[in-house]
């Protein structure tokens, strides 16, 4: 009895020791400095490719060893986490609004968009269509999407930044098409939203709906995502369509100054973001189907990115703040359009 208890105790003790050693046996090469990048959900592979290159690039120029750590999640959730104390040195997001939130809290410089070229967006994308093989419904632009029998899949603009861009792209298209006639734009948007078959909460869910459940004629998402999906699920089954007019989706970056300073990483953080603008990094980015501004790389990848006219959200709608208030706030334009 006492013995069996004793044995149990030994077993438990050894289990504890085992798990403790396992917990600390994780190989972490002690780097002189660690940089934490808080990023959006679908950028994991992207930064898994870029970070080792950056480490080499930095270590060649500085006499220290560094390590870049990644945190990924929905970018609004990520921004929240930073506000609650996640000590990221830099943010690389897919939503301007999420960096703005950090700027309002004083964690990021107020003029963050001026601190790096191209509105602090080292790469960009746009909204594109994924259609079934051979494009049987002949979808080439936004006006094809309001035909009666078209079924559309894209994430809910209320919950997804990706979905927001789709909504804004359609609106921007209509705005140009009808020369700013609000009545006609709303009519167009009503038909467009009426054709949406499923509103998933996020991009990944919409992909599943379109690809695995086979619902809908067209999936609307970032051009980069649409290309990745078609690669992943078979290029023979889907075609990528980039409409002639669409919205410019910026991928903003910023130094989280407060934490970078505290972590003694300000120079490293700036270096990291500057690296994203180098030809080497731009090439990597283009490889992940993002559009870049580096002209050499643009030339190399010209075939991959069909020419299209990209409208800036700020030019069409004023500011992101206004967009959020008029369109996506409760009772806003989106809610009214969906109520019929």
Partner 1 sequence: MQRIGDAPRTRRLLVGLAIVLSVLFLLLPLVAIFAQALAEGMAVFWNNLSDDYTLAAIGLTLLVAALTIPVNLVFGVFLAWLVTRFSFPGRRLLQTFIDIPFAVSPVVAGLIYLLLYGSNGWIGSWLDEYDIQLMFAWPGIVLVTIFVTCPFVARELIPLMQAQGAREEEAAVTLGASGFTIFRRVTLPNIKWALLYGVILTNARAVGEFGAVSVVSGSIRGETNTLPLHVELLYQDYNTVGAFTAAALLALIALFTLAAKAGLEWRATRREQFR
Contact positions toward partner 1, by CB under 8 A? 1, 5, 8, 15-16, 18-20, 22-28, 36, 41-42, 44-45, 69-73, 81, 83-87, 204, 228, 232
Which helix (DSSP H) or strand (DSSP E) does residue 170 occupy?
helix 161-177
| DSSP bridge partners of 196 | 152
Q: What's the closest the beta carbon of residue 269 comes to partner 1, in angstroms?
A: 16
Round to whole Å and give the CA distance between 46 and 262. 27
Task: Name the E strands within the chain.
Answer: 33-40, 66-73, 90-92, 123-132, 152-153, 196-198, 218-222, 238-241, 245-250, 253-255, 291-292, 309-311
- Give the three-class secondary structure for 265: coil
- When computed from its CA atoms, the radius of gyration of the chain, rounded to whole angstroms, is 23
Looking up tokens 């980039």, which residue turns up? 242
Q: What's the closest the beta carbon of residue 276 comes to partner 1, in angstroms?
A: 19
Minimum CB distance to partner 1 smaller for 28 or for 330: 28
Minimum CB distance to partner 1 smaller for 72 or for 190: 72
Minimum CB distance to partner 1 smaller for 29 or for 63: 29
- Give the three-class secondary structure for 68: strand
Q: Which of 288, 311, 319, 310 is nearest to 301 (CA)?
A: 288
Q: Who's near 206: CB < 8 A, 6+ residues apart?
A: 153, 154, 155, 162, 163, 198, 200, 219, 221
Q: What's the closest the beta carbon of residue 19 comes to partner 1, in angstroms?
A: 3
Minimum CB distance to partner 1 smaller for 36 or for 185: 36
Minimum CB distance to partner 1 smaller for 42 or for 185: 42
Minimum CB distance to partner 1 smaller for 139 or for 284: 284
């Amino acid at each position: 009895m006492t013995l069996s208890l004793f044995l149990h105790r030994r077993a438990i003790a050894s289990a504890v020791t085992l798990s403790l050693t396992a917990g600390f046996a994780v190989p972490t090469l002690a780097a002189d400095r660690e940089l934490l990048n808080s990023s959006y959900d679908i950028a994991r592979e992207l930064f898994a490719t870029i970070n080792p290159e950056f480490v080499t690039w930095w270590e060649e120029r500085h006499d220290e060893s560094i390590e870049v750590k990644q945190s990924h999640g929905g970018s609004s959730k990520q921004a929240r986490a930073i506000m609650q104390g996640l000590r990221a040195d830099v943010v690389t997001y897919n939503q301007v609004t999420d960096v703005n939130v950090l700027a309002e809290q004083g964690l990021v410089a107020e003029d963050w968009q001026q601190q790096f070229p191209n509105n602090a967006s080292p790469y960009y994308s746009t909204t594109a269509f994924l259609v079934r093989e051979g494009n049987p419904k002949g979808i080439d632009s936004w006006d094809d999407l309001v035909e009666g029998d078209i079924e559309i899949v894209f994430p809910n603009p209320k919950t997804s930044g990706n979905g927001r861009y789709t909504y804004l792209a359609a609106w921007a298209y209509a705005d140009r098409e009808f020369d700013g006639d609000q009545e006609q734009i709303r009519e167009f948007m009503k038909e467009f939203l009426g054709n949406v078959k499923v509103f998933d909460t996020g991009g990944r869910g919409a992909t599943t709906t379109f690809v695995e459940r086979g619902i809908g004629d067209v999936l609307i998402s970032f051009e980069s995502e649409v290309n990745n999906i078609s690669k992943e699920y078979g290029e023979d089954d889907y075609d990528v369509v980039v409409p002639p007019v669409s919205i410019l989706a910026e991928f903003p970056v910023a130094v989280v100054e407060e934490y970078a300073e505290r972590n003694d990483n300000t120079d490293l953080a700036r270096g990291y973001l500057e690296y994203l603008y180098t030809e080497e990094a731009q090439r990597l980015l283009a490889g992940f189907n993002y559009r870049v501004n580096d002209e050499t790389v643009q030339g190399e990848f010209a075939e991959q990115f069909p020419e299209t006219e990209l409208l800036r959200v700020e030019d069409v709608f004023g500011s992101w703040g206004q967009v959020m208030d008029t369109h996506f706030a409760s009772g806003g334009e989106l809610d009214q359009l969906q109520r019929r």
